[in-house]
Amino acid sequence: MNKMAEDSQRNFRSVYYEKVGFRGVEEKKSLEILLKDDRWDIEKLCTFCQRFPLPSMYRILVWKVLLGILPPHQETQPVVMVYRKEQFDDVHHALEVIRFIDESTPKSEVFLYMYQLESGRLSRSQKYTMEPQDELFLAIVGTMEEMVDDDVDCYWLIKNFVHHLDSKFRDSQQLLQKGFEHYLNLEDSRLVAHLKACSALEKLPYNLWFRKCFAGCLPPSSLQRVWDKLVSGSCKILLFVAIEILLTFKMKVMALNNSDSINEFLEKIPEDNTDPIINKAIDLWHKHCGIPAHSV
């Protein structure tokens, strides 16, 4: 079969799958081909995550590789995961020995104390002032717990995700805030004018959106597709999610006339409409930023 015929057949299959409700079948096959290699190509995996949503059956595994929890070499992954579990158990046991935790300690606190102990920041007293890094950690815990069933996987993903955010995107919040205003103005200048008139533009929940990555604002079932993009190296997706939230609830926001009421609403948006918001946000991201060109 010549190349033109192959392309035609591939395009036909894609249209057919989408019409009968199997959108993503071709993408899943592309990912499976990538994962068959003995050594996974990190750049291609990142490109896949930028272009498509990860199938749920592969998401945790791919995240663990992209976040450096597991190596890209398949044959060494089981051995490395054994070491990760041993380290988890050792740190957990150490906290029990020094009586920082027991069976009644909430899991979120257990994970935080483990994180603090490993980073050399564990306080001698359990009553202390929370640092911004700890607040971020707990916000991510609250969402990641609902995405991941296994405690060892969950802890390692939280710890490395927070480190990823801190090392890759620490200085991005101000740029994201400026980009948010720029792109929102392109999409709806009247909405921007209303926010400015209410003195709300500078007081929107940017920390929740861009620092905590919508943890606690959007349900995990929708948010995990946004975090696919973050894990694979793009933080700009966050500003387009924020923009799409405002566009979706434009009528509600336009009816509010002060920054406090606007913030209160945006921090707790209705959760029954978030999947379409994420779909539109990803489309908006691709519209303004393009799609990675190199193939997977």
Identify whether residues 198 and 222 lie together within a single domain: yes
Identify whether residues 126 and 221 lie together within a single domain: no
Each residue of 31-70: b (16+ CB within 10 Å) or e?
beebeeeeebeeebbbbbbbbbbbeeebbbbbbbbbbebb
pLDDT for 10: 43
**Orientation angle between helical segments 107-118 and 77-97, nearest 10 degrees:** 100
* Euclidean distance between CA atoms 59 and 252, whole angstroms: 35
149: phi then psi, degrees, rounded to nearest 5? -85, -40
Identify whether residues 107 and 189 lie together within a single domain: no
In the chain, which residues have pLDDT < 50?
A: 1-23, 293-296
Identify whether residues 238 and 267 lie together within a single domain: yes
Question: Which residue type sits at 42?
Answer: I
Per the domain annotation, does 217 fall within a domain?
yes
Q: Are the C-beta atoms of residues 221 and 158 closer than 8 Å to each other? A: no
Identify whether residues 191 and 222 lie together within a single domain: yes
* Domain containing residue 196: CATH number: 1.10.472.80
pLDDT for 94: 97
Count structural domains, the chain.
2
Q: Are the C-beta atoms of residues 217 and 210 closer than 8 Å to each other? A: no
* Domain containing residue 84: CATH number: 1.10.8.680
Its domain, for residue 104, covers 78-157
Per the domain annotation, does 251 fall within a domain?
yes
Per the domain annotation, does 72 fall within a domain?
no
